[in-house]
Structure 1
Amino acid sequence: MKTKKFGNSNLETNPIIFGGNVFGWTLDEKESFKLLDELFEKGYRTIDTADVYSRWAEGNQGGESEAILGKWMKERGVRDQISLHTKVGADMGQGHNDISKSYILKAAEDSLNRLQTDYIDLYYTHWDDNKTPVEETLAAYQKLINDGKVNHIGASNLSPKRLKESLKAAEEQSLPKYEVFQQQYNLVERNDFEGAIHDICVENGVGVSTYFSLASGFLTGKYRKEEDFQGKERKGFVEKYLNRQGLEILDTLDKISETHQVSNAAVALAWLMHRPGVTAPIASATKSSQLQAFDEALNLNLSDEEMSKLNEVSKK
């Protein structure tokens, strides 16, 4: 499988990144191992997780996703073949986000232990605490990099102001630079990325990964009326899209997917893969059949007309 480089860095990624938020949440350990085995067999080697995954599931404390992934890599002996991405800074029970130096250094050790590895390929600032000086956060990453525990750093969900401050501090004070930015971006949520964040990333050679790339499953087309998501884990994420524009987007996806004989998810991912500034979308799956959409997206060539139709119907 061909790989792509994030921005101006030498960090490579699959064209689609697997989202590990499902491990320990909608998939138990046995189911996670089965899916990871199939993913690996298909050639996907870039996996995104976070220390806070899957804390929101009943009975979980956080770290479940990392622990499952770490156990799988250890048992299969494949750590050196995986580009491992994880994150720090989200509320792990302390009641607030934290990206102070002391917190990051401790959290990194916790993540390394759960992942059963001695290094992280890409370590993200997950959520800003909006108070720690950016220089302090970057200094923590500098130590982790110097110690060989982190190879590259990225950021997620920072405001344009804090992202610019971080990039400026990195350049002026010889601190590590955020080489990847992760932001929500999909056909029903375009505003968070398009505009200031997109421009900052392009101007500074920062690669981009997108989360909620399928809008928590809405863009697959399986949620079209209220009863479709009743009792489902993702109800709170997708019910807001069940409106006129959301249904028009699904209708457009239906037509394009029928033309190419692929799934709606494949079209939605292909659209992202061809959007300016995007390096690779992150997408999850819970069934073997859903992984087929990844392969379909990689081989799908959307015409200019089809891209224009998707761009137009998803404008707000």
Structure 2
Amino acid sequence: MAFEKIKFGKSDLNIVPLIFGGNVFGWTLDEQSSFNILDEFVDKGFNAIDTSNNYSHWAEGNKGGESETIIGRWLESRGNRDKVMIMTKVGGRFGYDSKPNTQGAYIKEQIEHSLRRLKTDYIDLYQTHYDDEVTMVEETLRAYEDLIKEGKVRYIGASNISPERLVESLDVAAEKGLPSYISLQPEYNLYDRAKFENLYQKIAVERKLAVIPYYSLASGFLSGKYKSESDFSQSVRGEGIYKKYWNERGKDIVRVLVNIASARQVSPSAVALAWLLAQQAVTAPIASATKSSHIQDFVEALTLKLSEEELSKLNNASKY
């Protein structure tokens, strides 16, 4: 299937507007299962994968880097590096000592590990995963500048960063002629709306940032598989999802999602992703898949155009 590609922010990258979230590789998917799901993702016409240098450190026995390693072996075995946009992240919880003015050195160290694991010479989008606020913005951007000059990175983006530091980073880049973040990866979905909409959306619109939300399906809560309390016991992450999302507002959101999905004969996941794609500044949601049906949800999301009435119902159910 050939989806129309769109321009990725202020870059010359073109992307099918749904990104595979690589946190599942080496965690809920072993290597062969990861290869199979990646093959299907690309065969369906998608072309962008997001990961991080620390994925999947939370899985028992893992140290971090497992996701990049699996993606790298897949890229090498398929010989398709030039057809896939690889996004990875650096900073935060993976071997970083958080001393002042060390993030630049850390970034330069970690890029080598990521390139080796991913079996590639360059990263299309290298993102600040967790901003180190004790390091001056300029030092971080100068480290990225060196990597871009060396051809190891094409563009840079930011994920968990305060609105103040984001604006400062964009301003310093403009003032000093340094590389600028072209994208923002925030937590944003039908349930978790307030933080992005109140603190980041205006910045993203004004600065023309490509917004690529993570937790697009709220850890699976918006997939429609949680319709009653008993459903939560059937999932490894069920208890945490229940505590965070299973309240009156959460129930309303799921009810409306399921109703619209049923009427349109698509999955609730597709409706939740289509809602994100209809939001101002959103370029492409990030979502993970562990089975073929999830990839089909992605296909449905890109072919589904929600009506104003449907969007209004979802907005009302999820208002905060």
Q: TM-score range by the shorter chain?
A: over 0.9
Residue in 2 aligned with 1:129?
132
Seen in structure 2, the aligned counterparts of structure 1 residues 114 and 236 have a Cα distance that, compared at 3 Å, is farther
Cα drift, residue 231 of structure 1: 6.6
Question: What is the percentage of aligned positions where both structures have the same residue?
Answer: 54
Partner of residue 88, structure 2: 86
Can you list the C-alpha shifts for 1:49-83, whole angstroms capped at 9, x where unaligned? 00111000010000000000000000110111110
Match of 1:52 in 2: 54
Runs of 4+, deviation exceeding 4 Å: 93-99
- Whether 2:272 is the aligned partner of 1:268: answer yes
What RMSD in Å do the two structures reach over aligned CA positions?
1.5
- Per-residue CA distance 1:61-120 (angstroms, 9 max, x = gap): 000000000000001101111100000002114565997110000000000000000100
Deviation at 1:268, TM superposition (A): 0.3
CA contact (8 A) 1:89 1:97 kept: no
Choose the corresponding residue for 2:17, options 15, 18, 26: 15
Q: 1:51 to 1:94 in 2, by over 3 A?
A: same
Name the CA shift for 1:161/1:255 in 2 (closer, same or farther; >3 Å).
same
1:31 alignment partner, one of 30, 33, 42: 33
SS at match of 1:92: coil
CA drift of 1:236 comes to: 5.5
Q: Contact 2:103/2:140 (CA < 8 Å) preserved in 1?
A: yes
Structure 1 residues 94, 233: closer, same or farther in 2, change over 3 A?
A: farther
Identify the residue that residue 177 of structure 1 maps to in structure 2: 180
**Equivalence for 1:160:** 163
**In 1, distance between residues paired with 2:12 and 2:258?**
37
Name stretches of at least 5 consecutive residues in structure 1 with no aligned partner: none
Question: What residue is the counterpart of 1:115 in the other structure?
Answer: 118
CA distance in 2, matches of 1:215, 1:97: 33
Determine helix, strand or coil for the equivalent of 1:193.
Answer: helix
Instruction: Number of aligned residue pairs: give it.
Output: 316
Q: Which runs of 5+ in 2 are unaligned?
A: none
Asked if the contact 2:156/2:180 (under 8 Å) is kept, the reply is: yes
**2-structure distance, mates of 1:180, 1:236:** 32
Which residue matches 1:198? 201
TM-score by length of 2: 0.95
8 Å CA contact 1:249, 1:314 repeated in 2: yes
Aligned twin of 1:278: 282
Change in Cα spacing, 1:307 to 1:64, as seen in structure 2 (3 Å) is same
1:302 aligns with 2:296: no
C-alpha separation between the residues in 2 aligned to 1:241 and 1:169? 38
Report whether the alignment pairs 1:223 with 2:194: no
- C-alpha distance in 2, partners of 1:114/1:292? 29
Asked if the contact 2:99–2:134 (Cα under 8 Å) also holds between the matched residues in 1, the reply is no
Q: Is the 8 Å Cα contact of residues 97 and 127 (structure 1) preserved in structure 2?
A: no
* Letter matched to residue 298 of structure 1: L
